[in-house]
């Protein structure tokens, strides 16, 4: 890790820079080509990309059959089945508590003018779940549980088939079975996002797409948004920031940093501490623990662009963190409640020495689909609300229209929108003639 001791606040912005991504122009261009091919050739293009990009030369059926679903789910060891069920229970309990009233309180903004808002589930949603070397069945729980709770009428799952076999990872199939998902498409990458956007003979088009992925998936989601399909949020490499005081356990802190670094070589981890001893000990622990990891080389690459920063006190660490706006924020301090009150920019916060970020990734109940790259300054993570849209309603009684008409007419005339004023005036005159 890069180490900085008591940097001047004027230098903080430079220290808060994320790793620079590869040129996005070429990635967007390639994703655009894939979009065009899927729009033009549909399922045929999906099979072609399965052969070219996923190493599955003969993919006869793009959909997982009921028999495949049952057989794949049955391969999951009992211990993992139990873990997935417990995680689902916790995620469901947390998200169910977010369920809004179907109709919010009716507000009479003035006599005879009633306004209210109703929550309606997004009808058709697409869930993109990465496969490959790390099939993210946990992400399927994070997205599938709130989609089912919200009551989305159609849920389409896209996930890439395993290279060579064309099968979907058993843990993903088990999680899908537990959630009652039946439309499971063997497609990954930008081509899956394109199929969910434009629709094919096999893949239904959806209204909103959720889920993480590589840079091609991210680019494809940007293209989907340009074509009128909503996406969950801007996505980028994963990250964690740890605030650690003298009470922190350096073994714990190093493990937390590495747990995020192993996501990918472009992940970033940041340590803030006001203790020279903790700084030194954590760096030593990183060196000790890193070689023990199966994904050590990936984590090592991530550490190259990661930073450990010594700051004077908790107030400075909190200010630095709020400026950075981390996806994950761990408060490895003696009294995390004191710092928590001042947090304004973070995706998800993990408080105290016994709350590792990994519990939020899997099973505490909160959602792990979170804003990265500083987007936590303005975006929230995925929640039950992400699967709803809010529709406003208003209803005016004759007396309400009569009272509100002069206001609307005056404002419309001032903006030069005569037809707006007229739409109110003709009703006002009709009422006056009654």
Strands (E), 201-249: 208-210, 230-231, 239-244
Q: What is the rounded distance in angstroms from the CA atom of residue 2 to the CA atom of residue 307?
A: 5
pLDDT tens, 321-330?
999 999 999 9
What are the φ and ψ backbone dihedral angles of 402, each rounded to 5 degrees? Answer: -60, -40
pLDDT tens, 268-282?
999 999 999 999 999
Same domain as 182, residue 44: yes
- The answer to whether residues 265 and 301 touch, using CB atoms and an 8 Å cutoff, is yes
Same domain as 202, residue 135: yes
Q: How many residues does the chain have?
A: 434
For position 23, what pLDDT does the model report?
63
Give the end of a domain, one of 231, 265, 289.
231
- The answer to whether residues 217 and 128 touch, using CB atoms and an 8 Å cutoff, is yes
What is the domain count for the chain? 3
Q: What is the rounded distance in angstroms from the CA atom of residue 422 to the CA atom of residue 434?
A: 19
Residue 410 in this model has a pLDDT that exceeds 90: yes
For position 417, what pLDDT does the model report?
98
380 within a domain of the structure (yes/no): no
For position 87, what pLDDT does the model report?
98
Nearest alpha carbon to residue 373 among 266, 227, 222: 266
What's the mean pLDDT when you consider all of the chain? 95
The separation between the first and the last C-alpha atoms of the chain, rounded to the nearest angstrom, is 80
156 within a domain of the structure (yes/no): yes
Q: What is the rounded distance in angstroms from the CA atom of residue 265 to the CA atom of residue 256?
A: 16
For position 39, what pLDDT does the model report?
95
Catalytic residue among 95, 177, 328, 368: 328
Q: What is the rounded distance in angstroms from the CA atom of residue 352 to the CA atom of residue 172?
A: 32
386 within a domain of the structure (yes/no): no
Give the end of a domain, one of 231, 265, 287.
231
Strands 113-121, 388-396: pairing is: antiparallel
87 within a domain of the structure (yes/no): yes
Q: How far is CA 379 from the centre of its chain?
A: 10
CATH of the domain at 198: 3.40.50.1980
Q: What is the rounded distance in angstroms from the CA atom of residue 372 to the CA atom of residue 259?
A: 16
Torsion of CA 260, 328, 88, 62, to 10 degrees: -60
Q: What is the rounded distance in angstroms from the CA atom of residue 27 to the CA atom of residue 231?
A: 18
Contacts of 356 (CB under 8 A, 6+ apart): 252, 255, 256, 259, 330, 350
For position 214, what pLDDT does the model report?
86
What string of DSSP letters covers 113-155?
Answer: EEEEEEEEE-SEEEEE---TTS--HHHHHHHHHHHHHHT-SEE
Nearest alpha carbon to residue 158 among 181, 117, 188, 122: 188
Same domain as 227, residue 173: yes
Same domain as 241, residue 226: no
Same domain as 282, residue 227: no
Angle of the 215-226 helix axis to the 189-198 helix axis, nearest 10: 20
Per-residue pLDDT averaged across 99-106, rounded?
90
Q: Is 327 annotated as catalytic? A: yes
Same domain as 176, residue 92: yes
For position 205, what pLDDT does the model report?
97
Give the end of a domain, one of 310, 343, 365.
365
pLDDT tens, 192-231?
999 999 999 999 999 999 999 888 999 999 999 999 999 9
384 within a domain of the structure (yes/no): no
Nearest alpha carbon to residue 242 among 286, 211, 212, 291: 286
Strands 268-273, 307-310: pairing is: parallel
What string of DSSP letters covers 302-324?
Answer: HHHT-EEEE-SSHHHHHHHHHHH
Reduced to 3 DSSP states, what percent helix, strand and coil does the chain have, rounded to the nearest 5? 50, 15, 35
Q: What is the rounded distance in angstroms from the CA atom of residue 190 to the CA atom of residue 128?
A: 10
201 within a domain of the structure (yes/no): yes
H-assigned helices in 199-275? 215-226, 250-261
Same domain as 124, residue 169: yes
Same domain as 225, residue 97: yes
Same domain as 144, residue 32: yes
Number of other CB atoms surrounding residue 394 within 10 Å: 11
Angle of the 66-74 helix axis to the 170-179 helix axis, nearest 10: 110
Same domain as 167, residue 50: yes
Same domain as 99, residue 42: yes
Binding residues: 128, 191, 214, 238, 260, 263, 328, 361, 415, 420
169 within a domain of the structure (yes/no): yes
Same domain as 206, residue 125: yes
In this prediction, residue 234 has a pLDDT band, given cuts at 50, 70 and 90, of confident
Catalytic residue among 239, 262, 285, 327: 327
Q: Is 305 annotated as catalytic? A: no
Binding residues for substrate: 238, 260, 263, 328, 361, 415, 420
248 within a domain of the structure (yes/no): yes
Q: What is the rounded distance in angstroms from the CA atom of residue 12 to the CA atom of residue 238?
A: 20
**Domain around 272:** 2-16+237-365
Residue 21 in this model has a pLDDT that exceeds 70: no
Residue 140 in this model has a pLDDT that exceeds 90: yes
Helix (H, G, I), strand (E, B) or coil at 93: helix
């Amino acid at each position: 890790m890069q180490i900085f001791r008591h940097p001047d606040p004027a230098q903080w912005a430079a220290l808060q820079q994320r790793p620079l991504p590869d040129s996005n122009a070429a990635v967007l261009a390639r994703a655009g080509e894939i979009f065009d091919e899927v729009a033009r050739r549909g399922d045929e293009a999906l099979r072609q990309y399965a052969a070219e990009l996923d190493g599955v030369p003969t993919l006869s059926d793009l959909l997982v059959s009921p028999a495949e679903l049952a057989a794949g789910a049955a391969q999951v060891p009992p211990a993992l089945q139990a873990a997935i069920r417990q995680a689902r229970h916790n995620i469901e309990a947390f998200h169910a508590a977010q369920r809004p009233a179907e109709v919010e309180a009716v507000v009479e903004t003035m006599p005879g003018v009633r306004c209210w808002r109703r929550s309606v589930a997004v009808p058709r949603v697409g869930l993109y779940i990465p496969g490959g070397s790390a099939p993210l069945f946990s992400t399927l729980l994070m997205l599938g549980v709130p989609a089912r709770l919200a009551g989305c009428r159609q849920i389409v799952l896209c996930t890439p088939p395993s290279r060579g076999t064309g099968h979907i990872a058993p843990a993903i199939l088990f999680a899908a079975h537990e959630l009652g998902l039946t439309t499971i498409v063997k497609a990954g990458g930008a081509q899956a996002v394109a199929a969910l956007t434009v629709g094919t003979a096999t893949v239904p088009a959806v209204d909103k797409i959720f889920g993480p992925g590589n840079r091609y998936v991210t680019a494809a989601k940007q293209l989907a948004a340009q074509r009128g399909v909503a996406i969950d949020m801007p996505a980028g490499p994963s990250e964690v920031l740890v605030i650690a005081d003298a009470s922190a356990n350096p073994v714990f802190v190093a493990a937390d940093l590495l747990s995020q670094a192993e996501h990918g070589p472009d992940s970033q981890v940041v340590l803030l501490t006001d203790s020279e001893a903790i700084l030194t000990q954590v760096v030593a622990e990183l060196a000790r623990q890193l070689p023990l990891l199966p994904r050590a080389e990936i984590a090592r690459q991530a550490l190259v662009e990661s930073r450990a920063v010594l700051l004077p006190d908790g107030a400075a660490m909190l200010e630095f963190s709020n400026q950075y706006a981390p996806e994950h924020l761990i408060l490895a301090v003696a009294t995390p409640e004191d710092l928590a009150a001042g947090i304004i920019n973070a995706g998800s916060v993990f408080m105290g020495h016994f709350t590792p970020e990994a519990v939020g990734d899997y099973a505490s109940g909160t959602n792990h689909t979170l804003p990265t790259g500083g987007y936590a300054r303005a975006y929230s993570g995925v929640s039950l609300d992400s699967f709803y849209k809010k529709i406003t309603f208003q209803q005016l009684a004759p007396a309400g229209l009569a009272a509100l008409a002069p206001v609307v007419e005056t404002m419309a005339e001032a903006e030069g929108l005569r037809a707006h004023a007229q739409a109110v005036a003709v009703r006002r005159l009709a009422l006056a003639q009654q």
